[in-house]
A and B are shown apart, each in its own frame.
Chain A
Amino acid sequence: MARRSFFSGVGPQICVVALCGFTATTSRAQSTAEIFSRLDQAARSFIGATAAIRVTTHTRIIDEDETQVGTIAVRRYSHNGIQFLISFTGPDAQAIALRGQTLQVYYPKANTVREYDIGKYKDLAQKLILLGFGMPGRELAESYEVSNLGDERVQSQDSVHLQLTPRAQDVLRQLSRVDLWISLKTNCPIQQKFYLPGGDYRLASFSDVKVNPPLPASALDLPKGAKRERMN
């Protein structure tokens, strides 16, 4: 997948839009407090989302990009409980679902679902994979040092670019920083970019995001007929 950089891709468009004062949201960079307030407000009404997802894994030392495409569905089932299903298609088809404390990985070619009890890591997995989906600003601020890099236009959408540095040392050892682009329209992420200490990164781009669509719990189920294996 061709990677978009700010300067070679959408940067010039943002400049033009900013100069014209096309919309109120893009003509004035929002303060971090304003962004947090927006996210807090959006999180209160968030009950779910669906989107197309494209994940690019970059290995720095060999300058290699590998891409997976698929869909993501996120559903809030209680105040603190969020479940998700990410389904990748193509040669690397697999699906990953989080239900309570159980992370399920479905391998269609083996028709097998592997279940991992991730216990205390549930919150971490949820906060990393679903970073920006229905997450209040205060929660972001609790887990990360947040720098506001201003408004940007990404994938033809106005967004605010946040740079997050994990506060927890054990997370920081594995993840140097996360760049997050939140859509000003949907208040959901357009892109998440996870930087690993060695310079490798994982870029997840979301498109066709629908917030609070009708989403029954069964829409996030993995195939019932698959063999289930408990791994721990």
Chain B
Amino acid sequence: MSVLAIGIEVTMILTLVGISYGTLDEAARRARGVGADIVVRPPATSLIAASSSPMSAGLLPFFMKQPHVTFATGTMIQPLGGFDSLSGIDLSQFNQLSGGFRFLRGGPFQNDDDVIVDEYYAKEKNLDVGSTIILMNQRWRVSGIFESGKLARICAKLDVLQTLTGSPRKVSQIYLKVDDPPHAQSVVNDLRDKMPGYFIYTMEEFASLLTISSVGLLRNFIGVVIGIAVIVGFLVVSMAMYTAVLERTREIGILKALGASSGYILSLLFRETLCIAIIGTVVGIIMTYGTQWLMMHAVPATLTQETVYEWWPIAGAISVVGALLGAILPGWKAVKQDVIQALSYE
């Protein structure tokens, strides 16, 4: 039971870390899949503007006039709650930028109420070409299912989404293509001078921001999970070893009668704890593959779990520390046991 409990603790850590890494890496992969060299996001004014699409599409011709910029297009992102969002795109412009979606089934939008979804979203929501789906209180028809890895999981026509949200000529972000990728940084620097306050990045820079260390909230979240895991490990091992010491009162008494030192008895308990923690860690790592399989089959579009190997020793160390801390009190009780009482313990 102790091994299993520590295993669950390790699984909990590795699963949450894996989801955090996986979700961010997937977002970075989709951002790179757009095929742009530069992304422009609006100044942080959402509280004043109360809008998720606060940039004017009138900026597109301005960007097109900039040196080295060969193409510019805007998209609108409408959050749908949870991890989902609906992206509005001008399909012909987006195809020019990204080389186009690779449709696995169906094809591009035919009507205003058409959406295209990626394979994972289709799998999670059990959608096929011609299926209907309710998003933003509207009934949409799935016209195509595309290979994942480009911009978003669900896309609709940009102008339809702009009309629906009362934001005509507004976009959430603008993608730029330059004539030669090495020019991207100089274009970014130039634009930052011209447009202070706007968030302007090369795509590589933007993708590098999608990491755990850059997302403060996620870092704190992982910290909380580790804290909880240490407490769980501590309590589980503490209770298990306390029970073990009680069960072995007579054995401990015999060892003491035979001249075993306190250090010997403590080392015996700590070695057993260490053994439980290590086996528990291995069990936890194995169980993590189970959660990964579960995520992949139950919620492939919502949560992406990665195997983060560098966290295996960290999770192992956390479980060992928690377990050893939990063994201190029972160990102390074992050491302090009276030999005579221990020998007469039934």
A residues contacting B by CB (< 8 A) are 57, 59, 61-62, 64, 66, 88, 91-94, 96, 103, 105, 107-112, 118, 121, 124-125, 128-129, 173-175, 194, 196-200, 202, 226-227, 229-232
A125: nearest residue on chain B (CB-CB)? B47
Instruction: Known contacts A175-B48, A202-B48; decide if A110 and B137 are in contact (CB<8 Å).
Output: yes
- Cβ-defined partner of B137 (8 Å) among A112, A128, A194, A230: A112
Taken residue by residue from 117 to 144, chain B's Cβ proximity to chain A (1 for < 8 Å, 0 otherwise) reads as: 0000000000000000000111000000
Instruction: Known contacts A61-B59, A121-B47, A174-B45; decide if A110 and B165 are in contact (CB<8 Å).
Output: yes
Q: How many pairs of residues, A versus B, come closer than 8 Å at their CB atoms?
A: 94
Q: When the two chains form their complex, are residues A198 and B166 in contact, meaning their CB atoms are under 8 A apart?
A: no
Q: When the two chains form their complex, are residues A196 and B47 in contact, meaning their CB atoms are under 8 A apart?
A: no
Q: Which of B9-61 contact A (CB under 8 A)?
A: 43-45, 47-50, 54, 56, 58-59, 61
Mostly helix, strand, loop or mixed at chain A's interface? mixed
- Cβ-defined partner of A198 (8 Å) among B43, B48, B61: B43
Q: When the two chains form their complex, are residues A196 and B45 in contact, meaning their CB atoms are under 8 A apart?
A: yes
Q: Which residues of A contact B68 (CB under 8 A)?
A: none
Q: Which residues of A contact B198 (CB under 8 A)?
A: 198
Cβ of B79 under 8 Å from chain A: yes
Q: Which of B145-204 contact A (CB under 8 A)?
A: 163-169, 194-198
Q: Which residues of B contact A110 (CB under 8 A)?
A: 136-138, 164-165
B residues contacting A by CB (< 8 A) are 43-45, 47-50, 54, 56, 58-59, 61-62, 79-81, 136-138, 163-169, 194-198
Q: When the two chains form their complex, are residues B166 and A61 in contact, meaning their CB atoms are under 8 A apart?
A: no
Q: When the two chains form their complex, are residues B196 and A230 in contact, meaning their CB atoms are under 8 A apart?
A: no
- Cβ-defined partner of B62 (8 Å) among A61, A108, A124, A197: A61
5 contacts between A and B (CB under 8 A): A59-B59, A61-B194, A62-B58, A94-B165, A121-B47
Smallest beta-carbon distance A82→chain B, Å: 15
Q: Using A62-B61, A196-B43 as known contacts, list a sample of 19 further A-B pairs with CB atoms less than 8 Å apart, ordered by residue number in A.
A: A94-B167, A103-B50, A105-B50, A109-B164, A109-B166, A110-B136, A121-B47, A173-B44, A174-B44, A196-B45, A197-B43, A198-B43, A198-B195, A198-B198, A200-B43, A229-B80, A229-B136, A230-B81, A231-B79
Q: When the two chains form their complex, are residues A66 and B56 in contact, meaning their CB atoms are under 8 A apart?
A: yes
Smallest beta-carbon distance B208→chain A, Å: 22
Instruction: Known contacts A124-B47, A200-B197, A202-B49; decide if A107 and B165 are in contact (CB<8 Å).
Output: yes
Q: Which residues of A contact B50 (CB under 8 A)?
A: 96, 103, 105, 129
Q: Which residues of B contact A66 (CB under 8 A)?
A: 56, 169
Q: When the two chains form their complex, are residues A61 and B195 in contact, meaning their CB atoms are under 8 A apart?
A: yes
B196: nearest residue on chain A (CB-CB)? A198
Q: Which residues of B contact A197 (CB under 8 A)?
A: 43, 196-197
A113: nearest residue on chain B (CB-CB)? B137
Q: When the two chains form their complex, are residues A94 and B166 in contact, meaning their CB atoms are under 8 A apart?
A: yes
Instruction: Known contacts A198-B43, A202-B48; decide if A92 and B166 are in contact (CB<8 Å).
Output: yes
Smallest beta-carbon distance B72→chain A, Å: 13
Q: When the two chains form their complex, are residues B167 and A92 in contact, meaning their CB atoms are under 8 A apart?
A: yes
Smallest beta-carbon distance A119→chain B, Å: 12
Q: Which residues of B contact A111 (CB under 8 A)?
A: 137
Smallest beta-carbon distance A57→chain B, Å: 7
Q: When the two chains form their complex, are residues B58 and A108 in contact, meaning their CB atoms are under 8 A apart?
A: no
Q: When the two chains form their complex, are residues B47 and A64 in contact, meaning their CB atoms are under 8 A apart?
A: no
Q: Which residues of B contact A129 (CB under 8 A)?
A: 47-48, 50
Q: When the two chains form their complex, are residues A62 and B197 in contact, meaning their CB atoms are under 8 A apart?
A: no
Smallest beta-carbon distance B312→chain A, Å: 33
A204: nearest residue on chain B (CB-CB)? B48
Q: Which residues of A contact B163 (CB under 8 A)?
A: 91, 109
Q: When the two chains form their complex, are residues B49 and A57 in contact, meaning their CB atoms are under 8 A apart?
A: yes
Q: When the two chains form their complex, are residues A194 and B197 in contact, meaning their CB atoms are under 8 A apart?
A: no
B168: nearest residue on chain A (CB-CB)? A91
- Assembly CA distance A127 to B331 (angstroms): 59
Q: Which residues of A contact B47 (CB under 8 A)?
A: 118, 121, 124-125, 128-129
Q: Which residues of B contact A194 (CB under 8 A)?
A: 48
- Assembly CA distance A230 to B136 (angstroms): 11
Q: Which residues of B contact A107 (CB under 8 A)?
A: 136, 164-166
- Assembly CA distance A121 to B62 (angstroms): 34
Q: When the two chains form their complex, are residues B81 and A231 in contact, meaning their CB atoms are under 8 A apart?
A: yes
- Assembly CA distance A186 to B48 (angstroms): 24
- Assembly CA distance A59 to B45 (angstroms): 13
Smallest beta-carbon distance B85→chain A, Å: 10
Smallest beta-carbon distance B66→chain A, Å: 11
B191: nearest residue on chain A (CB-CB)? A61
Q: Which residues of B contact A173 (CB under 8 A)?
A: 44
